Amino acid sequence: MNFVESAERQALREAVAELGRSYGHEYYLEKARGGGHTSELWDEAGRLGYLGVSVPEEYGGGGAGIGDLAAVCEEFCAAGTPMLLMVVSPAICATVLARFGTDEQKKHWLPGFASGQVRMSFAITEPDAGSNSHRITTTARRDNGGWVLNGRKVYISGVDEADAVLVVGRMEDARTGNLKPALFIVPTDTPGFEYREIAMDLVSADKQFGLFFDDVRLPADALVGSEDAAIAQLFAGLNPERIMGASFSLGIARYALGKGVGYAKERSVFGAPIGSHQGLAHPLAQVKIELELAKLMTQKAAALYDAGDDFGAGEAANMAKYAGAEVAIKAVDQAVQVHGGNGLASEYGLGTLIGAVRVGRIAPVSREMVLNFVAQHSLGLPKSY
Domains of the chain (ranges; CATH) run 7-118 (1.10.540.10), 122-225 (2.40.110.10), 231-378 (1.20.140.10)
pLDDT per position as a tens digit, 62-75: 999 999 999 999 99
Is residue 89's pLDDT more than 80?
yes
Pairing between strand 139-143 and 164-172? parallel
pLDDT per position as a tens digit, 3-28: 899 999 999 999 999 999 999 999 99
- Mean pLDDT, the chain, whole residue set: 95
Is residue 174's pLDDT more than 90?
no
Is residue 230's pLDDT more than 70?
no
- The whole-angstrom separation of Cα 332 and Cα 338 is 10
Q: Is 200 helix (H, G, I), strand (E, B) or coil?
A: coil
Find the distance separating the first CA and the last CA of the chain, reported in whole Å: 37
Q: Is 75 helix (H, G, I), strand (E, B) or coil?
A: helix
pTM (2 d.p.): 0.96
**Residues of the chain with pLDDT > 70: what percent?**
97
Q: What pLDDT score was predicted for residue 141?
A: 94
CA angle, corner 79, sides to 164 and 72, nearest 5? 50
Radius of gyration over every alpha carbon of the chain, rounded to an integer in angstroms? 21
Residues 6+ apart with CB under 8 A from 34: none
pLDDT per position as a tens digit, 293-349: 999 999 999 999 999 998 899 999 999 999 999 999 999 999 999 999 999 999 999
Q: What pLDDT score was predicted for residue 226?
A: 77
CA angle, corner 190, sides to 94 and 166, nearest 5? 25
pLDDT per position as a tens digit, 103-120: 999 999 999 999 999 999
